[in-house]
Chains A and B, each alone.
Chain A
């Protein structure tokens, strides 16, 4: 029989709760993860785990110092003093809280698990070590607001290690950029990474009326185009047609993913050759190591020559 846990059944150490309370709202999810994982950490390592959570919460709180409520400010200062002056407190805590986690302990009633995560009898009996009751899978790109799209997240491709061998060499691009920036040709030191706000950009709210244009790009993304083009630039493109043909102008590695979620299982992920024509149905994510090698019809090329590009094609605007 399923029973909803009451708040008094939430078994989290005081210091972890303090860390959760101190953490800024935007980062609280990660402290929740740490608090959840705490139950699976060996008892001897739990004090260090709690210490890490508290230190992380304080760090994030200090970084996002603006508009701190007075109560949290006071407690933050006190917690900092506590951390600095009383490391023995955690040692004492370790002596008192080394009891193993009981399989019948009831998980706390957290909002994000409310819908699906009522503990079952099987779980209570400890039979299910790995119950795959995936509940939430927030879009890692932060760009997909549609709940259905988020639910459609699939597992990652299993044989990444094997495919690593076939990854095309992108060193030339990095080398060029390194030289352009006067940084020499140290490829390892010039690895590029998307800026954080690129991933968090919203999708276009509505398509604009274009004269004869089949593909229209979101103008809001223009401001961040430079950042997006740093490695795998990703744009959402609204297409009036439900299908179109990709034509390969030269060999490149191409990944096609049904839907709008890049993390989903690709149905094509291989090196394609010159002249290949691929009919694709929307919605679709297209990732190419050489954006200029992929012709997407009347609107031209997928991206710039020699630069990786990621494009999300949808038939309608995602809210």
Chain B
């Protein structure tokens, strides 16, 4: 019997980046940094890791005569981000809001 290699659990920061990309065709690193509130070093470390894992694609383009890289989700990354979003919603739905009235109070 082959032993399954243990898979790595993605960090919440990685999920943040994937979620920031999911609604866009591609985005710049600075925009991603602002949306996720991550530092530049953290952000590019995450981008590199996601790229190495095949979840992220990278394109360089010229903007005002300067090179600038854009990042986009691959098919695999998009699927992964979609699932992360769904599961995030699921977790939020399960989370009990302490301010909300209980079932008994409502009835």
Question: Hey, which bits of chain A sit against chain B, CB under 8 A?
Answer: 27, 30-31, 33-34, 36-37, 39-41, 48-49, 51-53, 55-56, 59, 101, 103-107, 110, 112-113, 117, 119-120, 123-124, 126, 128-138, 140-142, 153, 155-158, 160-161, 163-164, 167, 169-171, 181, 187-196, 198-200, 226-227, 230-232, 234, 255, 257, 262-263, 266, 285, 287, 308, 310
Contacts and interface: CB of A to CB of B under 8 A. Distances in A.
Interface size class of B (residues with CB under 8 A): 35 or more
A155 B25 CA distance: 7
Interface string B55-84: 111111111111111001111111111111
B22 A231 contact: no
Given A48-B39, A199-B53, A188 B28 contact: no
Interface of B: 2-10, 14-15, 22-23, 25-26, 28-30, 39-45, 47-49, 51-69, 72-88, 90-91
A6 B23 CA distance: 39
Nearest to B29: A37
Contacts of B41: 51-53, 55-56, 59
A41 to B, nearest CB: 6
B23 A136 contact: no
B56 A140 contact: yes
23 contacts: A33-B47, A33-B58, A36-B67, A36-B69, A40-B68, A59-B41, A113-B62, A117-B60, A129-B63, A137-B57, A138-B57, A140-B57, A167-B79, A167-B83, A171-B90, A188-B88, A196-B52, A230-B4, A230-B7, A234-B54, A257-B75, A263-B57, A263-B72
B78 A160 contact: yes
Contacts of A158: 25
Given A191-B10, A193-B80, A226-B3, 11 more contacts: A53-B44, A105-B65, A129-B63, A140-B54, A156-B25, A158-B25, A161-B23, A191-B15, A195-B7, A227-B5, A310-B76
